[in-house]
Structure 1
Amino acid sequence: MPKVLVSVDMEGISGVVHPTETNPDRYDYERGRALMTAEVNAVIAGVLDAEPSADVLVADAHGPFRNLLPEELDRRVRLIRGKPRPLGMLGGLDGDVDAVLFVGYHARAGAGPAVLAHTMSDAVLGVRLNGREVGEIGLNAALAGHHGAPVVFLSGDDVACAELLDLVPTTSTVAVKRALGQAAAETLHPVVARERLRQGAAAAIARRAEVAPLPVGRAVSLEVDLYSPATVDTATLIPGVERAAGARTVTFTGRDVAEAYGVVHLLVQLAQVKPG
């Protein structure tokens, strides 16, 4: 019985193009979370079409991690929601997970045109892992690889799909929209998107053995460009975090990807602290 983790973000959902649809405090958020729930249900159906006995965990991985509508979610899965929690967007990941799927993901900060592109938060201008520019896709794929799990599927806009394929060429993707800008896209009808997601997820699970976990070595080097110099000042209080040349970049060398991943999440939280 394979164990499958589905991590669900919102910016890469079909029809979603603007922060009013992804922010709980904005007027169109309820529509966004309904679309998000429907798309993950389509992916779940595809996974279980291919592997009816699969143990499926769904990690709500957008913003507050409380977006999916539990009462509307496929009853055959278990939902991980709320924050803070271990492993962030990949809550529920462990060494027993056989495959990871990214649903509704978006491209990294600086990519474009790409719909709602960013990395973790607007406080982060860029992240480099072992010298390679990565966003949430790369960070999460590396963390999955650290636990021995391949990322076999991603849905989002065309730029997000290309971002994962650059890292994992053998993976499967479904583009549910074509990016025209940061807040504009040519998008599939949601019903059509769900049909393609179900088919794509089933095919991805069926060929999961062909996809290897993303390899990342030990002693991982991390560089993070932060929007606020004040956040850099605070970040240097973290053991091992150092200021690089200039006002906005910090560096960290971790024992492994998991440690570096935790530092990125901590930096995002520190960015919310106002200077005294």
Structure 2
Amino acid sequence: MLSKLTHWFSTRRRDRALRDYAIDDTLWQATLDELPFLAHLEAPDRVRLRELTSLFIAQKEFSTAHGLELTDAMTVAIAAQACLPVLNLSLDLYRGWVGVIIYPGEFVIRKTVEDEDGVVHEVEQDASGEAWEGGPVVLSWEDAQMAGGTDAYNVVIHEFAHKIDMLNGEADGHPLLMRRWHAPLDSQAWADIFDHAYDHFCAKVDAVPDRRWARFERDSLIDPYAADHPSEFFAVCSEALFVQPQAFEAEYPELYRLLARFYRQDPARIGIAFAPS
């Protein structure tokens, strides 16, 4: 009886959120037009994404910095991209925090880094996005608007991939694998493929001569920044999976299949999704 009552309240809350945060038809179509990588979704999936976007907006608090005006178009565009990775999973992967902060452009973050001699330094650097464990996602609106380009860059998917990675602790490129979604994929199978791909990519980056570095950055599907840490490799590859799936599959077929199994989506093949286990 209690479970039925809980389900009833949950359904009521969901229906109310969908009603109170409904997305206007014109705004939703404009969002789809601005994000061409959503074209792989068939009509029923676009309907589910629209509903999930409304539920996400109902659950999160959007705010801006430095005088940037928050508009419905900004909110829906960011929410839709945040919901794409969890379309066949659950918004529960974004539980435990509420804030999405949007800056007009890049912003300064302060980090503690340890050099090769073990000396700890406080450094400042420009950033286009930042995901805080247990805290908000911070985004540059200027960079978020670059999502419709021809490369694999997508700061929104990148930062929300970090949030997914943080669900089981500090981001480390080994996200939580749940039996109901990911069986028979397990931590060892993930490590066998992901860690090998990361080590291979790092070796590839390290082997680039200085004189060819600019060309490598221009031609590489995966941003060299991904070699900084396994968590960055996971986030950058998540961008590629959703934004340039055909190119990603062609260049990294085994890694593509791993991430497609994790997200339970196969964007390189229109209309194909991984069935629930």
Question: TM over 0.5: same fold?
Answer: no
Choose 1 or 2 for highest CA Rg.
2
Under TM normalisation by the shorter chain, which class is it? under 0.3
Larger fraction in helix: 2
The TM-score, its normalising length taken from structure 1, stands at 0.23
Larger fraction in strand: 1
